[in-house]
Structure 1
Amino acid sequence: MDLLFANDRQGALPPSWYAEVTPPLAPFPALRGETRADICIVGAGFTGLSAALHLARAGRSVVVLDAHRVGFGASGRNGGQVLGGQRLDQIALERMVGRDDARKLWQIGLDSVRIVRDLIEEGEISCDLQSGALHAEWQAKGVTESHDYVAYLARHYDYTQAEPLDAAGLRGYVNTNVYAGGVIDHVSAHLNPLAYVSGLARMASAAGVTIHEKSHVRQVAPGHVTTEAGTVRAGQVVLACNGYLGGLHPQTAARVMPINNFIVATAPLPRGAALHSRICAADSNFVVNYYRTTADNRLLFGGGESYGYRFPRDIAALVRRPLARTFPHLADVEITHAWGGTLAITMNRMPHFAQTRPGLWSASGYSGHGVAMATLAGRMIAEAIQGQTDRFDVMARVPSPRFPGGAALRWPLLVSAMTWYGLRDKLGI
């Protein structure tokens, strides 16, 4: 099954709240015939457009291809959380890669938030950027562990922007009694991701990047990339497909698995009905719930698990269950928009960076941590193509194990694991 076309119409953005409120980009033409460029990038999301922008500014000719439209994938329909650090905490990373590389990964995580802020300011991108990200714990044990981690970051990384919260302190941010406490990070942020990725496309186009939409890549081979109607001949190729890689590159696909996630938007709520300020939040469930409010005080809530590559028929009903558990007083709230999307995870939840052969680069598998990291990934790929490989190499050194069972068994095994962890979430284990 080709996930590019399994759940969506070709060339159309999903009917999300983002698509309703974000001024549309003028269409870019499909690729027809043969063209040449220094670099061909497959995927017009955060990674691909960031790489294209930075390469064009360095004087390289760049062509970007997308099977649908700019921001069609996870980049245009995700939860919008711009999170610092890495997907794994620093203690786990120190065990995995050693303290020296763990420190470099921490700095890369901080840089990822900074590049998003810098690009928004430089490009005057109107995407409702707001600061503050809350991590909410369901259990007292998790509160103790998260508070200890805040102290660890302050002691070993001189990071003092994370603030521990007890249950009462957390209720000062979130209008619910279900949590035992948590942490708020004042550096992390959130935004409208479709508006942001559209802004990146405008910046890239202005810098000289050629973007082709509705150009489905069928084959990537040394020196050329082929679509159904044309070919790009290029010395360097960047795969920036994340969950929509399909069969283009089996070596990457063995380490990066697509999964679906779902979001709803409510009707505008009374002020303070869900959150008391414009922060974003995510909880400690294995199947994470994440949410934030919009400028007109809608609650955007992501969560719920669905096993299968097809989206469920009633996404609103699926997401309403975790929404009601988190905010019992909003159990019957009106839901005006509901949509799904495909992201990509890795075995260890760290993104997979690789140069699999000379001239072929990829970065994907952001595991729900992609708004900031994917933007910086594009910049790091651009640096590496120009010979500055230090940051790319740090990311590429992170172990990236294959999913067990290969392509045939990885999905059933994931379903089994997600079912078990989803049950643990429900039981509060």
Structure 2
Amino acid sequence: MPAQDYPSSYYVATAKGVPALGPLNGDETADVCVIGAGFTGLSAALHLAERGYSVTVIEAERVGWGASGRNGGQLGSGHRKDQRTLEEKLGLEWAHRLWSLAADGLATVKDLIARYEIDCDLKPGVLHAAWKHGEAAWFQDEVDHMAREYGYHMLRFVPREEMREMVDTERYHAGMLDMGGAHLHPLNFCLGLARGALAKGVRIYEHTPALDISRADPARVRTPNGTVMARHVILACNAYLGSLAPDIAGRIMPVNNFIVATEPLGEARARSLIRDDVGVQDTKFVIDYYRLSADGRMLFGGGENYSGRLPSNIAAFVRKPMLRVFPQLADVRIDYAWSGTLAITMSRIPDFGRLAPNILYAQGFSGQGLNIATLAGKLMAEAIAGQAERFDWMADVRVPNFPGGTLLRYPGLIAGVLWYTLKDRLP
């Protein structure tokens, strides 16, 4: 594969069908210009093309270069906040609306994989692991609540004894298995979306950053070597928004996450760690999330930071939380270690909206991007086609700015994270 310009990772080393796409040189017109070729932008482009729109996608780096091609690959069944929290914040009616959207996002990912025959190692099941003793009762209540209030019967409570059989660690007090969730190779999913979009006539340009957008009708998107005139524009930049839209930049916080891939463990040893080959994520504020790759490696994500300075040794940085969970992996070689930047919001509810009547955006998926970012692209396609009700459900949920905006958001967040990290360490 042409791996130039992609950060090194296990996903890049095992990528399939990477398109080699050049930059935009010159001027062109389209019904829609999409800025960003990750889950959100490619989903929007593909859904628009299926409706007959002409679409141009511009990407500052490569397809799937950002968090879409570097994340943990866990496909959750809801939003970043659980439904009971959404009920308390927004009321029962809005919580049901958001659940219906998340359910459609989950189904949309699986449907796209099936319809476009995307080879991305899709496997069922996400296991939530209780880091503290008191969370076991919460898991049991959550299973009952989701079945009773939402008719969702894909959750199962896992007592501590069975949890120990499913994941070979003493760390967890209970579990909640979600067989509606899944895990997959995120870069290959993203590349599959791009191939599907190209087959539908979408024009995708790499190494083509957007420099500015005129808020007019039609809008004019300026790039280093050309322009795109479009009736509609979609901002699908997320953590890489930069200074392109300062009026919404303060609503998100870029956060760096870190992942390692061990050497292949062999079928027996790999399955001794995660018996049923499901994705696993714990309940800590700074969560650990991990799963087995298709070739039997442990893919383990742990730790995060909030500045442009990355750890000097990412492998050593992530090995510490990995060995807290699996001390039996102390002898295992780490073959790949990488970082990725996602965007969170203050409320952990994603931020949807319009910069102008013909300029839509979605950002701040807060670690639930595989599901909700793919959904966001679909909802923006619907809105452009004149069916904006579901997009407006998300846009009507107020997402506040971080205190201090882009200048002072980091000190406040770090103080909060230190507090919650301390709580993770308490009984």
Q: Which TM-score tier does this pair reach, normalised by the shorter chain?
A: over 0.9
1:197 equivalent in alignment to 2:190: yes
The match for 2:408 is 409
Question: How far off is 1:305 after superposition?
Answer: 2.6
Contact 2:232 2:358 in 1 (8 A): yes
The match for 2:163 is 170
1:18 equivalent in alignment to 2:11: yes
> What letter corresponds to residue 368 of structure 1 in structure 2?
G
1:304 is paired with a residue whose SS is strand
1:327 equivalent in alignment to 2:323: no
> What letter corresponds to residue 318 of structure 2 in structure 1?
V
Question: How far off is 1:306 after superposition?
Answer: 2.8
> For 1:143, which of 133, 136, 141 is the aligned residue?
136
1:233 equivalent in alignment to 2:229: yes
Distance 1:186 1:279 in 2: 9
Distance 1:217 1:264 in 2: 32
1:105 equivalent in alignment to 2:104: no
Give matches, 1:114-263, under 5 Å. 114-222=107-215, 223-263=219-259
Distance 2:165 2:230 in 1: 54
Distance 2:329 2:421 in 1: 22
The match for 1:388 is 387
Contact 2:40 2:375 in 1 (8 A): yes
- Deviation track 1:170-207 (CA, whole Å, cap 9, x = no partner) reads 12321111100010000100000000000000000101
**Which 4+ residue blocks in structure 1 deviate beyond 6 angstroms?**
none
Question: How far off is 1:90 after superposition?
Answer: 1.2
Question: How far off is 1:11 after superposition?
Answer: 6.3
Question: How far off is 1:272 after superposition?
Answer: 2.5
Distance 2:16 2:32 in 1: 29
The match for 1:374 is 373
Contact 2:254 2:306 in 1 (8 A): no
Tell me how many residue pairs correspond in the alignment.
419
Question: How far off is 1:34 after superposition?
Answer: 1.0
Distance 2:230 2:304 in 1: 40
Question: How far off is 1:24 after superposition?
Answer: 4.3
Contact 2:34 2:57 in 1 (8 A): yes
Distance 1:271 1:403 in 2: 41
In structure 2, stretches of 5+ residues that fail to align are none
Distance 1:286 1:69 in 2: 31
> What letter corresponds to residue 225 of structure 2 in structure 1?
A
Contact 1:265 1:300 in 2 (8 A): yes
Contact 2:270 2:292 in 1 (8 A): no
The match for 1:306 is 305
The match for 1:336 is 335
Distance 1:369 1:37 in 2: 30
The match for 2:43 is 50
Question: How far off is 1:29 after superposition?
Answer: 1.4
Question: How far off is 1:331 after superposition?
Answer: 3.0
TM-score (norm 2): 0.96
Distance 2:308 2:4 in 1: 20
> For 1:87, which of 80, 97, 102 is the aligned residue?
80
Contact 1:164 1:183 in 2 (8 A): yes
Identical amino acids, percent of aligned pairs: 48
Distance 2:99 2:17 in 1: 35
Contact 1:323 1:331 in 2 (8 A): no
1:277 is paired with a residue whose SS is coil
Contact 2:122 2:184 in 1 (8 A): yes
Distance 1:400 1:157 in 2: 25
2:125 is paired with a residue whose SS is strand
TM-score (norm 1): 0.95
Distance 2:293 2:261 in 1: 9
Query: Aligned pair in 2 of structure 1 residues 102, 322: CA closer, same or farther (>3 Å)?
Result: same
